[in-house]
Amino acid sequence: MKITVINGNARHGSTWNCKELFCKELEKYDQISVTEFVMPKDTPTQCVGCFNCFNKGENNCPHYEYIRPVVEALEEADLIIMTSPVYAGDITGGLKVLLDHLSYRWMSHRPSPKMFHKAALTIVTTAGAGKKHATKTMTNSLSFWGVKRIFSFQSSVAAMRWEDVKPEKKAKIEKLVVKQAKKIYHTIHNMERISYPFLRGLLFKIMAAMQKSNNWNPIDRKHWEEKGWLNGAKPY
């Protein structure tokens, strides 16, 4: 199983340790190979809003040298793991910078066909609050990229460091990870037999209808035309 991890922060703290628990658990089912990116180290530059990705193509992004390896690893992955601690009620700024750069991959622009066959896992830890909001920020991008199955793990660890997380809390986390990792493995194993989520499919159809009358962005329109998506073909 190929796993691409996008770490929302660089610390080997609670979030990183939860991710490690998932990887160790998944390894019990299958051989895994993990490619990791760490924010903000691997995508250090903010989106400057030049619109080049939308209007000229993503390789015209001034930061494409940082974005390209992440995109390639996302395309390769059987499982995308996206992690973040809660900062000021949401994901880290570093992760948001990456997600901004990947806006061109939203269904409203040029979604990658491969995403419609992938699974993702979001991992969020927080001292106490904000985990739902941070998770939603991540799942928004993943679902608008077209990802087929999205799992979410959240934990209020009530600590600044993993070492300070109470043993009972760690035991609870481990139990949840075991349960969820099993589900993730079985989902990936049976991916082609699982139906595409109805609402995400509906969103795709709405976007296809919008692209049919698209006379404002030839690159987006060409993407949809070339794949036959304007003539009823679907990526899922």
Q: How far is the CB of 9 from ligand FMN (least distance, A)?
A: 5
Could you tell me which residues are beta bridge partners of residue 197? none
User: Contact residues for ligand FMN (CB under 6 A)?
Assistant: 9, 11, 13-16, 85-89, 125-130, 157, 160, 162
Shortest CB 191 distance to ligand FMN, Å: 29
Closer to ligand FMN by Cβ: residue 8 or 111: 8
25, 131, 133, 151 from 147: Cα distances, Å: 22, 21, 19, 11
Min separation Cβ 10 and ligand FMN, Å: 9
Q: In the 8-state DSSP scheme, what is residue 196?
A: P
Name the residue with the smallest CB distance to ligand FMN.
13
Which residue number, 134 or 150, has a Cβ lying nearer to ligand FMN?
134
Query: Smaller CB distance to ligand FMN: residue 88 or 199?
Result: 88
CB of 127 to ligand FMN, least distance (A): 4
Residues 82/142, Cβ–Cβ less than 8 Å: yes
From start to end of the chain, where are the E strands?
Answer: 2-7, 33-38, 79-85, 119-126, 149-156
Nearer to ligand FMN, 43 or 126 (CB): 126
Instruction: Give me the least distance between CB of 164 and ligand FMN, in Å please.
Output: 9
* Residue closest to 53 by CA, chosen among 208, 227, 220, 224: 220
Pick between residue 131 and residue 149 the one whose CB is nearest to ligand FMN: 131
Distance CA 231, CA 82 (A): 34
